[in-house]
């Protein structure tokens, strides 16, 4: 038999430990099949892993200053909708032209560093992705941080972004 104070202390520790684990456990239960902050190792690539790789490739193409490669992640459709802060782009061609005209010097694109990517499958052919990232510009001390929310659809040639919203803040 333990003294009352020790028994009470052990109950508090057990409850505290349980409540500390709940956010991690709940995160897995609310549908995020992929989270870059967790180890998501699997022999075969799940759809969530495939979406993650599409997003990583998109970011890699940005860092290579390859606008065409970066835009391969987006569905080449007039129905594509992209909102960046208060600016709206309707259709792939409008987005493409904006990037090409907005970055005549590709080195001005800077370098993006993702901090977290989460993927949730909403349907077998529809996914929601959340990304947090920062962009640094070597020619200045300016940086931009932001987050993006994207819907991706699985079509014949893989997963493609069909809707995207990005919010940014200059630092």
Residue 58: predicted pLDDT:
97
Per-residue pLDDT at 7 exceeds 90: no
114/46 same-domain check:
yes
17/65 same-domain check:
no
75/124 same-domain check:
yes
Print the domain residue range for 160.
Answer: 33-170
37/63 same-domain check:
yes
Residue 39: pLDDT band with limits 50, 70, 90:
low
What separation in angstroms does the CA of 7 have from each of 15, 16, 68? Answer: 12, 14, 64
Q: What is the DSSP letter of 65?
A: T
Residue 157: pLDDT band with limits 50, 70, 90:
confident
Which CATH number belongs to the domain containing residue 73 in this structure? 3.10.450.50
DSSP string computed for 69-123: HHHTTB--STT-EEEETTEEEESHHHHHHHHHHH-SSGGGG-EEEEEEEEEEEEE
- Check: pTM over 0.85? Answer yes or no: no
Tens of pLDDT along 53-89?
999 999 999 999 999 999 999 999 999 999 999 999 9
4/44 same-domain check:
no
Residue 98 CB neighbour total at 10 angstroms: 14
22/65 same-domain check:
no
Tens of pLDDT along 94-149?
999 999 999 999 989 999 999 999 999 999 999 999 999 999 998 888 899 999 99
What does pLDDT average to over the chain? 82
46/15 same-domain check:
no
Q: How many domains does the chain have?
A: 2
Residue 107: predicted pLDDT:
87
User: Which one, of 147, 152, 83, lies nearest residue 122 by Cα?
Assistant: 152
136/154 same-domain check:
yes
107/52 same-domain check:
yes
């Amino acid at each position: 038999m333990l003294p009352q104070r020790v028994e009470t202390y052990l109950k508090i520790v057990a409850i505290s430990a349980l409540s500390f684990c709940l956010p991690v456990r709940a995160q897995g239960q609310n549908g995020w099949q992929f989270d870059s902050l967790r180890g998501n190792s699997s022999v075969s690539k799940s759809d969530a892993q495939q979406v993650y790789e599409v997003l990583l490739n998109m970011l890699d193409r940005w860092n290579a200053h390859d606008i065409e490669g970066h835009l391969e992640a987006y569905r080449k459709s007039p129905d594509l909708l992209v909102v960046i802060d208060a600016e709206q782009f309707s259709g792939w061609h409008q987005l493409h032209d904006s990037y090409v005209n907005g970055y005549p010097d590709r080195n001005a694109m800077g370098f993006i560093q993702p901090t977290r990517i989460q993927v949730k499958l909403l349907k077998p052919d529809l996914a929601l992705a959340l990304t947090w990232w920062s962009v640094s510009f070597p020619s200045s001390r300016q940086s931009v941080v932001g987050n993006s929310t994207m819907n991706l659809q699985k079509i014949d040639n893989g997963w493609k972004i069909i809707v995207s919203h990005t919010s940014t803040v200059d630092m």
